[in-house]
Amino acid sequence: MAITAANQLELLQTAEAVAREKMIDPDLVIQAMEESLARAAKSRYGAEMDIRVSIDRKTGKATFTRVRTVVDDKELENYQAELTVEQAKQYLEDPQIGDTIVDEVPPVDLGRIAAQSAKQVILQKVREAERDRQYEEFKDRVGTIINGVVKREEYGNIIVDIGRGEAILRRNEKIGRESYRPNDRIRAYVKDVRRETRGPQVFLSRTAPEFMAELFKMEVPEIYDGIIEIKAVARDPGSRAKIGVISHDNSIDPVGACVGMRGSRVQAVVGELQGEKIDIIPWNEDQATFLVNALQPAEVSKVVIDEEAQKIEVVVPDEQLSLAIGRRGQNVRLASQLTGLDIDILTEAEESARRQAEFAERTKLFVDALDIDEFFAQLLVAEGFTSLEEVAYVDMDELLSIEGVDEGTAEELQARARDVIEEQNRKALEAAKEMGVEQSLFDFEGLTPQMIEALAKDGIKTLEDFATCADWELAGGWTTVDGQRVKDDGLLEKFDVSLEEAQNLIMTARIMLGWVDPSELEVEDEGDAEDTEEEAGA
């Protein structure tokens, strides 16, 4: 195929037609043609040559040129595409390294194989341009709802025609056992768009919590306008869901607005979600109040929050337990997802039994250690005393405020408590020395003998050992394993050492050992303070 005047315009027309069909820039098609013609010319003139082709965008005329670059004598490798400064002097008056010499070469006639190769290059370039266009178009649709038509089903996954491309709805992203036939209309949430070798992949979901939030945004104008905000969504797809909403306008009820007249708005969402039951819950900044709302329809008697462990205990009347937990734990699981807290549900009887057990344990501690009668020990526990240390070192006035306790009794109580603690410390000290604890750990301020004994039992016998500990190893903490929060017991947890106290102790040990420069810590603290001030200002 020779490029003659007769088919020069045909090149431009072909480029226009392909660009229009694939909805890409015509210039990209012409660039692909230039590249394919240059490749064909190299097969004719030699692969070592730097042959370039330029197609005039108005006339369609293709110009073939050979480009040679001026290089240093020592770097001359390709004699077909490079030449030295001396060789370049016959073409240029004052050649410099990096200059190029461009010579026009005769156009080539494309043979059958060359023409086929050129066609493959053009098709490849067009496909790449089409993929780029699809990716650019759909990457901004992530987080929105898209409508499409079912094309086919592959291994349980649904392939959806979304206009200028295809998307995939994976088997695990479908609601329950819903099935689709070819040409069925489908509405789904665009979860992700990725570049892949076979083109951009658009992943859809109908089980994502965000899908429900977007459906409510479409059905409730107040949410779309920002008057009502969706703060949290938790779903058991196809079965039940909870959604927390708040109104930024006191005159508008967020729950009522989402339900709509005679339930019209929420029913539209329920219909799209295959009959999924939806609890619409008023959001509250107070975690306990929000949790009480989230556990509806069950009634809650008491809420106890452990902020450090991000755990919460809920006490419900005995007859409300099954309702609070829900079928297969569904109600409490959704409430946990909605609040982001681990929830333990106890009945009033269970909570009472646990309280009585703790009361009895502390009473026994005081009876055995302080040699007092059970009634007096119970009186101390009822007043909030939980340990010997509290009795020994509390302000005298707190003991005198207990009915029937005079100054002499209070002094005797504190003396007994201190004696017991000193004896415990003496035994702990001896045990720690027998286990081989070094003096550096005994001299370290902030650790009691009983703490040192507990550390020694775990193999921590020097200040260096202590300085390598992590804060959670000392104070305890929580980790998530397979979606479940698991308790990590701390070595010093029973001594009520907090995470912050553990951090300070470890850092002090590292400074004493010279592992950390205190001046660097001060600079970091100042930087953190500045960041906090900037955030506050923003």
pLDDT in tens, 401-414: 887 788 888 888 88
**Chain segment 372-393, per-residue pLDDT in tens:** 888 888 888 888 888 888 888 8
Cis omega (within 30 of 0) for bond into 297: yes
CATH fold for domain 4-130: N Utilization Substance Protein A; Chain:P; domain 4 (3.30.1480)
CA angle 353, 357, 358 (to 5 degrees): 120
| pLDDT of 245 above 80 | yes
Task: Provide CATH 3.30.1480.10 ranges for the chain.
Answer: 4-130
* Confidence bin at 1 (pLDDT 50/70/90): very low
**DSSP assignments along 251-308, one per residue:** TS-HHHHHH-GGGHHHHHHHHHTTT-EEEEEE--SSHHHHHHHHTTTS--SEEEEETT
Residue range 140-207, CATH number: 2.40.50.140
Averaged pLDDT for residues 468-491: 77
**Chain segment 296-343, per-residue pLDDT in tens:** 778 888 887 766 656 688 888 888 888 888 888 888 888 888 887 778
* Confidence bin at 478 (pLDDT 50/70/90): low
Question: 21, exposed or middle or buried, with CB in 10 Å at 0-12, 13-18, 19+?
Answer: exposed
* Residue 106 to residue 53: CA distance in whole angstroms: 11
Return the pLDDT at 320.
Answer: 83
What single letter denotes the amino acid at residue 251?
S
| pLDDT of 2 above 50 | no
* Residue 383 to residue 82: CA distance in whole angstroms: 95
**Chain segment 110-151, per-residue pLDDT in tens:** 555 555 655 666 677 777 766 777 777 777 788 888 888 988
Averaged pLDDT for residues 417-440: 89
| pLDDT of 153 above 50 | yes
Which residues are registered as beta bridge partners of 315?
A: 302, 346
Torsion of CA 256, 259, 262, 265, to 10 degrees: 130
Return the pLDDT at 533.
Answer: 46
Return the pLDDT at 228.
Answer: 92
Give the residue from 312, 308, 233 showing the smallest Cα distance to 273. 233
| pLDDT of 489 above 70 | yes
Averaged pLDDT for residues 24-48: 74
Which residues are registered as beta bridge partners of 69?
A: 82, 100
User: 538 or 199, which is more confident?
Assistant: 199
* Residue 88 to residue 97: CA distance in whole angstroms: 10
Torsion of CA 470, 474, 476, 477, to 10 degrees: -20
* Residue 101 to residue 83: CA distance in whole angstroms: 9
- The owner of tokens 């119970």 is 378
Return the pLDDT at 484.
Answer: 61
Return the pLDDT at 406.
Answer: 83
Contacts of 238 (CB under 8 A, 6+ apart): 175, 176, 178, 273, 274, 275, 276
**Chain segment 248-272, per-residue pLDDT in tens:** 888 899 999 999 898 899 999 898 8
Return the pLDDT at 233.
Answer: 92
Task: Provide CATH 2.40.50.140 ranges for the chain.
Answer: 140-207
Give all strands of the β-sheet with 240-247 in edge-to-edge order: 228-236, 240-247, 277-282
457 and 468 in contact (C-beta within 8 Å)? no
Question: What average pLDDT does the structure give for the chain?
Answer: 80
**Chain segment 444-473, per-residue pLDDT in tens:** 888 888 999 999 999 999 999 999 998 888
Return the pLDDT at 295.
Answer: 85
For the chain, the helix, strand and coil percentages under 3-state DSSP, each to the nearest 5: 50, 20, 30
Question: 425, exposed or middle or buried, with CB in 10 Å at 0-12, 13-18, 19+?
Answer: middle
Return the pLDDT at 161.
Answer: 87
